[in-house]
Amino acid sequence: MGLVMADDAKGRNVLAAILYRGRWWLVTGALLVAFTLWTAEFHQAQTTAILASTLRHSTPLVLGALCGMLGERSGVINIGIEGQMLMSAWAGFMVASATGDLLTGVVAGVAVGMLMGAVLAGISVGLRGDQIIAGTVLNIAAIGITSFFFTQGRTLPSGKIQPIRLGPLADLPVAGRVLFSNKPITYLTLLLVPVVWFGLFRTTWGLRTRAVGEHPSAAETVGISVVGMRYLNLILGGGIAGLAGAYLSLEAVGSFERGMTNGKGFVALAVMIFGRWNPVGAWGAALLFGYASAVQTQFQFRDWLTSDPQFVGMIPFVVTIVVLAGFVGRARPPASIGQPYSRE
């Protein structure tokens, strides 16, 4: 499949190319839709609930995957997505509850994510420390700081972010609820996917990023600053992870709990790998993983394993492992990841 999208497919063959390359996605998607309908016993309300839930669960995963992707495409492993999300969730919540303004909270979350991205860049690119250790540092710091500075009992004065209904489209059956009455960050995420895709494959920034990630010395030779590109991408990616954190505390849950990210940052890495470092692929993978989380609802509908909820809770993590074991060996990451870059 390669890392470069189908920009060589001419006009009329694009549909054929997509259908061919995406055949496994289509099959899987069809199977899952069938499974959903069956478990929901074809009730519209329940089917809608599951699909909406899938989209909700997939949002932080897509964002996390995009964050990881920007870093890895330029050659830096970011294991700290979990920490970035957690800190941003906390920061966003604290700011929003202190100022009473949700938007300020979101901005704070994004800013914190960018800051942490800068720290990661500073350690792994500027100081050439091991990238995985640097990311782990972010995670530990996040856990420590969010626990230390958290005071119980804060709330959001105006509650969490509310959905925005897109006019008459929101009244459509199923699709209306699932696609057209979502909350802002969810919409933003859907927008970000094609934007990042375009950026990576159609702009100078994207070309240079990919060059830096595959062969940094070649990029440096033609005057591109490897260090600069990596800092830029880690900070941008950090902002995206910050958005994910803000989503969790301000849009999804409406409060902050210790450790609320619960491994999503790592699942996002599996999503990124499964999606082959491609935004559209990651989106598809995130939907799949989101479905794996949403499936709890379906089990409830059918009264499966209700007395042993722990097994259902395990599902996303087991799926992650299976995906990794099945796919990472065959997917090729950008060639220079993991190696610190030095000019002389």
Partner 1 sequence: MIQVSAATPALEAIGIHKRFGRVVANDDVNLRVEKGRIHALLGENGAGKSTLVNILFGLYRADRGEVRVAGEVVELNRPRDAIDRGIGMVHQHFQLVPVLTVAENVVLGDEPSHSHTVLNVGAAKRAVQELGERYGLEVDPEAVVEDLPVGTQQRVEILRSLYRRADVLILDEPTAVLTPQETDQLLEVLRGLADQGVAIVFITHKLREVLAIADEVTVMRDGQVVGSTTPGETDEAGLAEMMVGRSVVLRVSKAPASPAATVLRVNDLCVDDDRGLRAVDELSLEVRAGEILGVAGVEGNGQRELVEAVTGLRSVVSGIVEMDGHNITGLSPRQISELGMAHIPENREKHGLVGAHSVADNLVLNQYYRAPFARRGFRQMDTVTEYSRSLVAAYDIRTPDVSTPARALSGGNKQKTIAAREFSHGARLLVAAQPTRGIDVGSIEFVHQQLIDQRDRGLAVLLISAELDEILSLSDRIGVIYRGRLVVVTDASDLDRIRIGRIMTTGSHDTPAT
Partner 2 sequence: MNIRSALVPVLAVALAIAVGALIIALSGSSPVDAYRALIEGSLSDPKSIGRTLEKATPLVMGGLAVAFAFKAGLFNIGGQGQLVVGAIIAGAVGYGISDLPWIIHAPLALLVGALAGAAWGAIPGVLKATRGAHEVITTIMLNFVALNLTDWLASKVWREPGVIVRTPRIEPSAEIPRWGEIPTGFFLAVVAALACWYLLRGTTFGFEIQSVGLNADAARYAGISVRRIFVTTMAISGMLAGLGGAIETNGIVGRYEPGFNAGLGFEGITIALLARTHPLGVIPAAILIGAMQAGGSMMQFKADVQPEITKIIQALILVFVATPIIVRWLLSKREADELSVSSTWGS
Dihedral sign from CA coordinates of 208, 209, 214, 220:
positive
Residues 319, 237 contacting (CB under 8 angstroms)? no
Task: Tell me which residue has tokens 């949403």.
Answer: 294
Q: x/- binding map, residues 142-181, to partner 2, per CB under 8 A?
A: -xxx-xx---------------------------------
Residue 1 touching partner 1 (CB under 8 A): no
Residues 212, 74 contacting (CB under 8 angstroms)? yes
Q: Given candidates 158, 203, 339, 342, which one binds partner 1 under the rule CB under 8 A?
A: 203
Residue 238 touching partner 2 (CB under 8 A): no
Residues 224, 241 contacting (CB under 8 angstroms)? no
Site for partner 2 in 261-300 (CB under 8 A): 262-263, 266-267, 269-270, 273
- Say how far apart CA 64 and CA 68 lie, in whole Å: 6
Q: Which residues have C-beta within 8 Å of that of residue 62, sequence separation ≥ 6?
A: 189, 192, 193, 271, 282, 283, 286
User: With left for phi above 0 and alpha for psi between -120 and 50, is residue 207 left, alpha or beta?
Assistant: alpha
Closest distance of CB 38 from partner 2, Å: 26
Residue 330 touching partner 1 (CB under 8 A): no
Among 13-21, 205-213, 282-290, 335-343, the segment contacting partner 2 (CB under 8 A): 335-343
Q: Which is nearer to partner 1, 44 or 203 (CB)?
A: 203
Residue 88 touching partner 2 (CB under 8 A): no
Q: Is 16 exposed, middle or buried (0-12, 13-18, 19+ CB in 10 A)?
A: exposed
- Say how far apart CA 55 and CA 182 lie, in whole Å: 9
Size, binding site for partner 1 by CB under 8 A: 26
- Say how far apart CA 262 and CA 213 lie, in whole Å: 29
Residue 324 touching partner 2 (CB under 8 A): yes
Residue 123 touching partner 2 (CB under 8 A): yes
Q: Given candidates 139, 181, 209, 261, which one binds partner 2 under the rule CB under 8 A?
A: 139
Task: Tell me which residue has tokens 């994004």.
Answer: 110
Q: Given candidates 51, 102, 115, 211, which one binds partner 1 under the rule CB under 8 A?
A: 211
Q: Which is nearer to partner 1, 3 or 331 (CB)?
A: 3
Residue 243: how many other CB atoms lie within 10 Å: 29
Task: Tell me which residue has tokens 């995130």.
Answer: 286
Residue 141 touching partner 2 (CB under 8 A): yes
Closest distance of CB 124 from partner 2, Å: 9
Residues 179, 287 contacting (CB under 8 angstroms)? no
Q: Given candidates 222, 307, 308, 330, which one binds partner 1 under the rule CB under 8 A?
A: 222
Residue 339 touching partner 1 (CB under 8 A): no
Q: Given candidates 86, 108, 137, 248, which one binds partner 2 under the rule CB under 8 A?
A: 137
Residues within the interface to partner 2 (CB under 8 A): 77, 79, 123, 127-134, 136-137, 139-141, 143-145, 147-148, 262-263, 266-267, 269-270, 273, 308, 310-311, 313-314, 317-318, 320-321, 324-326, 328-329, 331-333, 337-339
